Amino acid sequence: MHRFYDRYDTYRSLIDARLATVIDRGEPVSMYDPARYVLSGGGKRIRPVLVMLACEAVGGDPRDAVEAGVAVEILHNFTLVHDDIMDRADTRRGRETVHRKWDENIAILVGDELMGIAYKTLLNTEKGDVRALTRVFTDGVIEVCEGQSYDKEFELLPTVSEEDYMMMISKKTGWLVAISAELGAIIGGADAGRRAALNEYARCVGRAFQVQDDLLDVVADKDAFGKPIGGDIIEGKKTYLLVKALNRATGDDLALLQEVATRVAPHDGLVERVTEIYRRYGVLDIAREKIEEDTEAAIRALDALEDTDGRQMLIWLAQMLLERKH
Amino acid sequence: MHRFYDRYDTYRSLIDARLATVIDRGEPVSMYDPARYVLSGGGKRIRPVLVMLACEAVGGDPRDAVEAGVAVEILHNFTLVHDDIMDRADTRRGRETVHRKWDENIAILVGDELMGIAYKTLLNTEKGDVRALTRVFTDGVIEVCEGQSYDKEFELLPTVSEEDYMMMISKKTGWLVAISAELGAIIGGADAGRRAALNEYARCVGRAFQVQDDLLDVVADKDAFGKPIGGDIIEGKKTYLLVKALNRATGDDLALLQEVATRVAPHDGLVERVTEIYRRYGVLDIAREKIEEDTEAAIRALDALEDTDGRQMLIWLAQMLLERKH
């Protein structure tokens, strides 16, 4: 499997190299300095690599998918800049957020501009139907905004149904992963069936990735995780775990979880208490099963594709994300 | 000329009718209620009508340009929602701004979503090269953001050169007018020469319109204007008049204008004092000449087009905007 790791790194390097040059203007300084800062923040670059891999898995040249991959990564970063304003977040990936380092007006504008640059970059794509590419990309913008909107609505509620939660999270974080694979498929010249299969694969991978994120917040090895354990609990974030527990717990347990969800619970000893509730109601095991189920469903979706090296690498990617520790 | 007025109204009605249905989702309510509120705010709809007229002037069917026109209007409204946050504006066209009626988070998100809906609507266009349309539209997004960014930078300066000011305003307000005509030209099947001519026409019209706006703030008939005379002076807005005056005045006059520009001037009697300075340095006449020059240049640009009814209507539009009183 080593060669897949190496290939992932190669693809990520191509993406990072292009991200470093994609902003080709310097002025106005108050816009392009922070915009460059955002795009140099690193990250796993899962979405753009997925665009390249999906293109390859349907027989295309992954290099044809670099511009679209970079476009998705820019779009993703635009959502982070605006979400950080709304969430009053001070840091992102260990660095100050744009609205903290500069100010809120600049963060609003930089986000807007990044969306423009994302489209501009996408339109450099030479393979695949440009209307189809732009439509899929635009649906991504709309769904991500809807997801964030639902998320902010749910923040005000003491509880939320599992169905509503899954709907919200599929829009807020799943959609861009799903369109990453779909864009790659379009560029690679896939027919409708393969396009849908790759969308389904990525939708499942994205969901597994999200639940894994939520689980790691509670069970990760502190040193490997890179941020404090239980941060989501302290922040009252409506994670998969919290929603599952809210829909199962009763009595004092439920009362405490509702306090967590509305961010009025006292922080002292809270992570331990909530983790204990999660264990008692079997929520951690439910999450583990959900991750496995989704990973299997992702791999099953790839049955629609010829068994190529590209397809093998997508299988590897789904498994690798499942096994990650941070 | 009555029939041109009627035709303008007909086209505007088509745009308004489509704007009323363009948002076809109801949930999340916290997003789509304010989004609908924004698009129902009325206005002259100059940009979308211009898309239709430009299409017609190069021999296309103006009805083919409705989706693109609506897209530009939505894009324009997205910039207003975000600009209003940045400018801490309480009202817009006599109604509460989104961030005042709801809150800032919602205004950020609704703006983002409107950009997505704008692209989605543009992509419904069936005539014209879709890559060219989307590229021109995307350049509009980028330039408008740059313009707003310069505007916010300039707000912090006591003075700004005329050259920098014209550059800023051409991005912030001129660009979307220019691309309106260009999009219409592309949809109508214009060659590169006619496309450029229509862009030039609209660029000049947009500039004349902006300077006229600035002039009306000072010289308009109070009853026809619909808002208080001198509002720009009180707000310290860097208008064409203020920039021209800043680059001409000396001594106490200059000192006062710099206080206006940095918003520290006492409001009492300010409008009268500044208007008097504008008169004394001939700034009002300079503005009137500029508007006439730009209107003539706009009409001259249309020499590249066949003399059709559509072209005549564009000439009428430029003159009508020049003669408006509000």
User: Tokens 């030479």 appear where?
Assistant: A126
pLDDT at A223: 73
Using 50, 70 and 90 to split pLDDT, how confident is the model at B37?
A: very high
Asked if B119 lies within 8 A of A134 by C-beta distance, the reply is yes
Q: How confident is the model at residue B223 (pLDDT cuts 50, 70, 90)?
A: confident
Name the DSSP letter for residue A95: E
Q: CA A217 to CA A234: how far, in whole Å?
A: 11
- DSSP class of residue B147? H
Q: Return the pLDDT at B1.
A: 61
| pLDDT-based confidence at residue A326 (cuts at 50, 70, 90) | low
Residue B224 confidence (pLDDT): 72
Residue with tokens 């476009």: A71
Query: What's the pLDDT score for residue A222?
Result: 74
Place A1 in a pLDDT band, splitting at 50, 70 and 90: low
Per-residue model confidence as pLDDT tens digits over B161-210 = 999 999 999 999 999 999 999 999 999 999 999 999 999 999 999 999 99
Q: Kindly tell me the burial class for residue B212, based on how many C-beta atoms sit within 10 Å of its own C-beta (0-12, 13-18, 19 or more).
A: buried
Q: What pLDDT is attached to residue B322?
A: 80
Among A83, A149, A169, which would you mutate to test the B interface (most chain B Cβ atoms within 10 Å of its Cβ)? A149
- Short-list A165, A172, A108, CA closest to A145: A172
**What does each C-alpha distance from A155 to A78, A162, A232, A272, B99 come to in angstroms?**
21, 14, 13, 22, 19
The pLDDT assigned to B258 comes to 94
Q: Give the one of B108, B146, B149 whose C-beta lies nearest to A85's C-beta.
A: B108
What pLDDT does A289 receive?
96
Interface of A with B in 235-264 (CB under 8 A): none
pLDDT on residue B100: 97
Tens-digit pLDDT profile for residues B56-65: 999 999 999 9
- Cα-based distances in Å from A47 to A123, A243, B95: 17, 26, 41
With an 8 Å Cβ cutoff, are B105 and A116 in contact? no
| B70/A186 Cα distance (integer angstroms) | 28
Interface contacts A/B by beta carbons within 8 Å: 118
Of residues A205, A171, A223, A201, the one with CA closest to residue A322? A205
- CA dist B223 and B157 (Å) reads 34
Q: Averaged over A77-102, what is the pLDDT?
A: 95
Cβ(A262)–Cβ(A237) under 8 Å?
no
Return left, alpha or beta for B236; rule: phi > 0 is left, psi -120 to 50 is alpha, else beta: left
pLDDT per residue over B265-299, tens digit each?
999 999 999 999 999 999 999 999 999 999 999 99
Q: What is the DSSP letter of B92?
A: E
Q: What is the pLDDT of residues B73-132, one digit of tens each?
A: 999 999 999 999 999 999 998 899 999 999 999 999 999 999 999 999 999 999 999 999
**B31 neighbourhood in chain A, CB within 8 Å:** 145-146, 149
Lowest-pLDDT range of A247-251, B305-309, B321-325: B321-325
Name chain B contacts of A139, Cβ cutoff 8 Å: 120
What are A91's strand-pairing partners? A96
Average pLDDT for A70-87: 97
Superfamily (CATH) of domain A2-323: Farnesyl Diphosphate Synthase (1.10.600.10)
The residue among B130 and B220 whose pLDDT is bigger is B130
Judge contact between A151 and A236, C-beta under 8 A: no
Using CB atoms, pick whichever of B30, B120, B141 lies closest to residue A149.
B30
User: What is the DSSP secondary structure assignment for residue B134, as one 8-state letter?
Assistant: H
Which residues on A lie below 8 Å from B84 (Cβ)? none
Of B109, B120, B150, the CB nearest to A28: B150
Query: A167-188, pLDDT tens digit by residue?
Result: 999 999 999 999 999 999 999 9
Min Cα–Cα distance to chain B from A166, Å: 15
Predicted pLDDT of residue B158: 86
The distance of A203 to chain B (nearest Cα, Å) reads 21
Whether residue A167 lies within 8 A of chain B, CB to CB, comes out as no
What is the spatial distance between Cα A209 and Cα A326, in angstroms, rounded to a whole number? 11
CA of A138: how far to CAs of A144, A156, A240, A249, B120, in Å? 10, 28, 27, 40, 6
What are A23-32's pLDDT values in tens digits?
999 999 999 9
* Partner-chain residue, chosen from B113, B145, B150, that has the shortest CB–CB distance to A145: B113
- Please name which of B118, B171, B166, B188 lies closest in space to residue B290, comparing C-alpha atoms: B166
* Confidence at B326, pLDDT banded by 50, 70, 90: low
pLDDT at A268: 92
- What percentage of chain B carries pLDDT values higher than 90? 88
DSSP string for A245-269:
HHTT--HHHHHHHHHHHTT-S--TT
What average pLDDT does this structure show over A206-229?
Answer: 86
Q: Give the model's pLDDT for residue A175.
A: 96
Tell me what ipTM this predicted complex has: 0.95
Average pLDDT for residues A98-127, to the nearest whole number? 98
pLDDT of residue B174: 95
pLDDT band for position A317 (cuts 50, 70, 90): very high
Selected residues 18-37 of chain B with any CB under 8 Å from a CB in chain A: 25, 28-31
In this complex, is the C-beta atom of A86 within 8 Å of any C-beta atom belonging to chain B? yes
Q: Do B112 and A109 touch (CB under 8 A)?
A: no
Q: Which residue has the tokens 């992102």?
A: A92
